Amino acid sequence: MANQGVLIEPATAGAGRARSRALWVWALVALLGAWLVVYAETLAFSWDEGFHLLTAQLILRGKRPYLDFIFPQTPLNAYWNALWMRVFGDTWRTAHAVQAAGLIGAMILMVDYMLRRAPSREWRLAAGVVVAMMIGLNTLIMQFGTLGQAYGLALVLIVAAFRLGVAAVQRSGWLLAALAGLCAGGAAASTLLSAPVAPILLLWIVVCNRAGRRWTKAATFIAAVVVAFTPVILLFLKSPQVVLFNIIKYHLFYRQVEWPGAIPHDIYVIFMWVNSGEGLCLFLFGVAGLYYVVFRSDWARDRRREVYLCAWIAAGLGLHISSAHPTFGRYYLLAVPFMSIPACIGLWWISSRLYRADRPLLPLLLVGALLVGDTCEVLYDERDNMTWPFVESVANKVTEVTPAGAPLLADEQIFFLTRRIPPAYMTYADSHKLQLPQDVMTAVHVASIAQMRQRLEEGRYATAQTCNADYVNDTAPKVYAQHADVGECDVYWDRKAAQSFNAKQ
């Protein structure tokens, strides 16, 4: 136990042999990263990512979030996806690859951290393996971090902010603190789910600073956060009320509209980890790790503080995410890298007491089997789920029956795949549930379900497609002579009326 609390850097006795052994850890990281990319390019799909991808595509075509169409998110991830779509093509595969790369980057940063901060020298490589498995085999990260939504980008940014913040308190200069603020602000500018990371890191830098001027670091950290929000600020200056509606008011007042069971749903989501093997693993080992660090270890204060920082970030994210109404289990994936650090320490401590501290193979195999088992169960359960290749078949049918340039009523995914520019009120289907004063609805580019139904009845669209909108399936058979059932989706075309459709939008 003499090595407890020692910061284990590569430049130690036997460093060459240690680096050679560490290659096995990085081989595992590469294998897990390859798996995430394969999953991202084949099975990864969520209905909610459609409007994110469509937003990136519209940005490529010169449209502006909020000002030209509704987008109730912070926009940096959409601009990030648009950047890479400009380089590699505006397809879902591009966005998935970019987000998977973010996940891999986050995993690499946390594995490297754990290799340098292992609980004991005997567990140095094992600690890296544990963190790699807890991140790379986490099913929430696999399912949702590989999508075109902001999870992958936010994860790599908050993990980078953590690493930079930890280093910043040890250095006299302000640059690392500024970079930490830029990363933490960039994460929040991608998704407000990650917003607690910035104030927690700022407090950490102020309280734990050991070199240089703490208030200079704090000021540059805050300034960098503001810089990260430049796209939001520029859009806000053009139309403050519209931007506030999309980013703030929608989430405070309208997310739960048409959701009568939102509160029971939230309670279920908050406690769903109890039924998850990987969730229990992270939580119970994490609690054990924190107990050890607080009450049983003789680690140096700086080393303990870093573990506390991980716990505070995970707790801050958890509380913030739980306050969303409604909230969803996928949101909690942002806390996984930070929970993996105390969980790794807890696994080491428990195995050293119940088994042998110098023989980590057995606990690694047990944890690995649990995580692989959870992954296999999820893959089996979602074997019949909708995927992007299926949605492409729906888009092909829409293209087949819809004249070029003709007005179309469709889901966001279909507009994205067919590369058609939708009406401003059709870029976010969930907004149709809103009932607002007409001047507000016009300003924020929203049309209610009643308005959509009326426009459909008036024959404003050459084709109507839906995979889940009841008002379309209730109304379209009265309007169109042709119908195709494409799996879980419906396509209607060929108006029954003799006159041509009204193209007014």
The tens digit of pLDDT for each residue in 329-383 reads: 899 999 999 999 999 999 999 998 888 777 888 888 999 999 999 899 999 988 8
Structurally, how many domains does the chain consist of?
2
Whether the predicted pLDDT of 301 surpasses 60: yes
| 80 and 182, same domain (yes or no) | yes
Span of 86-90, 166-170, 352-356 with lowest mean pLDDT:
352-356
| 336 and 443, same domain (yes or no) | no
What whole-number distance in Å separates Cα of residue 200 and Cα of residue 483? 54
Using a pLDDT cut of 90, give the percent of the chain over it: 73
Are the C-beta atoms of 300 and 105 separated by less than 8 Å? no
| 422 and 278, same domain (yes or no) | no
Instruction: Give 227-260 as a 3 state SS string.
Output: HHCHHHHHHHHHCHHHHHHHHHHHHHHHCCCCCC
The answer to whether position 4 is within a domain reads: no
Phi, psi of 276 (to 5 degrees): -115, 125
| Domain limits for position 204 | 15-381
Nearest of 249, 242, 71 to residue 149 by alpha carbon: 71
| 350 and 487, same domain (yes or no) | no
| 368 and 432, same domain (yes or no) | no
Phi, psi of 259 (to 5 degrees): -135, 80
| 409 and 375, same domain (yes or no) | no
The answer to whether position 7 is within a domain reads: no
Q: Tokens for 329, please give them.
A: 């289990």
Q: Tokens for 437, please give them.
A: 């004063």
Domain closes at, from 325, 350, 381: 381
Q: Give the three-state DSSP class for 400.
A: helix
| 336 and 461, same domain (yes or no) | no
The answer to whether position 9 is within a domain reads: no
The answer to whether position 5 is within a domain reads: no
Whether the predicted pLDDT of 1 surpasses 50: no
What whole-number distance in Å separates Cα of residue 47 and Cα of residue 412? 9
What whole-number distance in Å separates Cα of residue 228 and Cα of residue 216? 18
> What is the enclosing helix (H) or strand (E) of 504?
none
| 168 and 217, same domain (yes or no) | yes
What whole-number distance in Å separates Cα of residue 101 and Cα of residue 134? 17
| 293 and 401, same domain (yes or no) | no
Placement of tokens 């999508």 in the chain: 147
| 331 and 405, same domain (yes or no) | no
| 246 and 358, same domain (yes or no) | yes
From the number of C-beta atoms within 10 Å of its C-beta (0-12, 13-18, 19+), residue 488 rates as exposed
Are the C-beta atoms of 338 and 314 separated by less than 8 Å? yes
| 352 and 283, same domain (yes or no) | yes
Q: Tokens for 104, please give them.
A: 């891999």
Domain closes at, from 381, 399, 430: 381
Name residues whose C-beta falls within 8 Å of residue 379's C-beta, 6 or more positions apart in sequence: 43
Placement of tokens 């944890």 in the chain: 367
pLDDT digits (tens, 9 = 90+) for 254-298: 887 767 777 787 787 777 776 778 888 899 999 999 999 999 988
Peptide bond into 326 cis (omega under 30): yes
The pLDDT confidence band at residue 505, using thresholds 50, 70 and 90, is very low
Integer CA distances (angstroms), 105 to 98, 100, 112, in order = 11, 9, 11
Whether the predicted pLDDT of 13 surpasses 50: no
